[in-house]
Amino acid sequence: MRCMPSLFPSPGVRGAAVAAAVLAVSACTVTPGPGEPAPDPAADHLREAGYTPTASAISPDEHLLCTAGAERSPDCEGTGQVRWSLPLEGEYRLTGNLLMHHIDTGAQYHDNFTTFHAVEAGRRGVLYAENALLRMIDADTGRVRWTTDLRQDPDVDFLHSGLRSLHADTDRIVLRYGDGFVQVDAEDGAVSGIAPMPPCTGALAAIDGDQVVLEHCHDHEGSYLALDLATGRTLWEFREGDEADLSGGRLHTPSRVFATEVDEGPTSAVEAGSGWHGPAGLGTIALTGVGVTIEGRGDMAVALACAPDGVPSLEAEPHAPGVRCAEPRLYAVNID
């Protein structure tokens, strides 16, 4: 014990002194000692829910692919089945209300904010981004086509601001960070444009070629500003007009598939259709709905989760928030 005032004061000690002693005991029991991590909300959440390690369909360590003629090919194509599952590398943490955070990708930690995103990229597949780390995945089989680590590009100096959204077509992907835009080629992941965010900008209004149109100052309604994605140069700005009058669109944006609670424990699952839920996984972040048209197959939900048997310890660690997830998974579930 670090300090333990007596709860049984001497006969001369009364009233306020007794209350002070009780308060001192309370303070000593909740204040962490030197080098001791503070209680963590994620660990408390799991303890209160009675967490016990339980395997699910996303638990296997190996890559689960859905390749033609492979052993699991017939089973992976049915509605409700895990189509593919990829183990992920790096240190992932379950934070707050069981949100996933990757401390190795250059994004600052913000509670209730995720830097994981995915978007359908036409025939290229699905682009999955962990802030700085990008992967293009064959949506039909789960094979990784290419990877790009934006931390290797010295001109992308705003990764710490966090990835906010993805926008894609068949040829390119536009990544919006808190402090700028990056454009990459959908074929091989090569960076083709970097545009730092100008001051006083709001929501993304449109993308037309290499031109990105943003709402300008929040107190100037109807004001827009256009950036050149290739150079970062401001092309024009004006205060009259309406978003509906702007040329171009927002490319393809994620179709959200929301997460919900399941009854049997402290896990959440992908809501993948009426009355059906995906495999259990801790801290599930539902990323996007993906349309797969190869050979007439239907849609799927792509999600990030920690396998429900993937938390080795509920003890908090001082170097990072939350508890460590040893079995992070990116997976897809057939929903139609």
Give 230-249 as a 3 state SS string.
CCCCEEEEECCCCHHHCCCE
pTM: 0.79
Q: Where does the pLDDT of residue 290 fall: very low under 50, low under 70, confident under 90, or very high at 90 and above?
A: confident
For β-strands 323-325 and 282-291, DSSP reports them as unpaired
Whole-angstrom Cα distance, residue 109 to residue 95? 10
Concatenate the DSSP letters of all residues of 60-85 into one string: -SS-B---TTSTTHHHHTSTTSEEEE
Whole-angstrom Cα distance, residue 289 to residue 300? 6
Is residue 280 scored above 90 in pLDDT?
Answer: no
Predicted confidence (pLDDT) per residue in 113-135, tens digit: 788 888 888 777 899 999 999 99
Predicted confidence (pLDDT) per residue in 192-206, tens digit: 999 999 888 788 888
Is residue 87 scored above 90 in pLDDT?
Answer: yes
Q: What is the pLDDT of residue 72?
A: 84
Predicted confidence (pLDDT) per residue in 21-80, tens digit: 333 433 444 454 555 556 788 888 888 888 888 888 888 888 889 988 878 878 888 888
Q: What is the pLDDT of residue 4?
A: 38
The whole-number average pLDDT for the span 223-243 is 79
Q: What is the pLDDT of residue 183?
A: 93
Please calculate the CA angle 332-329-145 and round it to the nearest 5 degrees. 65
Are the C-beta atoms of 322 and 101 separated by less than 8 Å? yes
Q: What is the pLDDT of residue 188?
A: 94
Residue 195 sits at φ, ψ, to 5 deg, of -135, 105
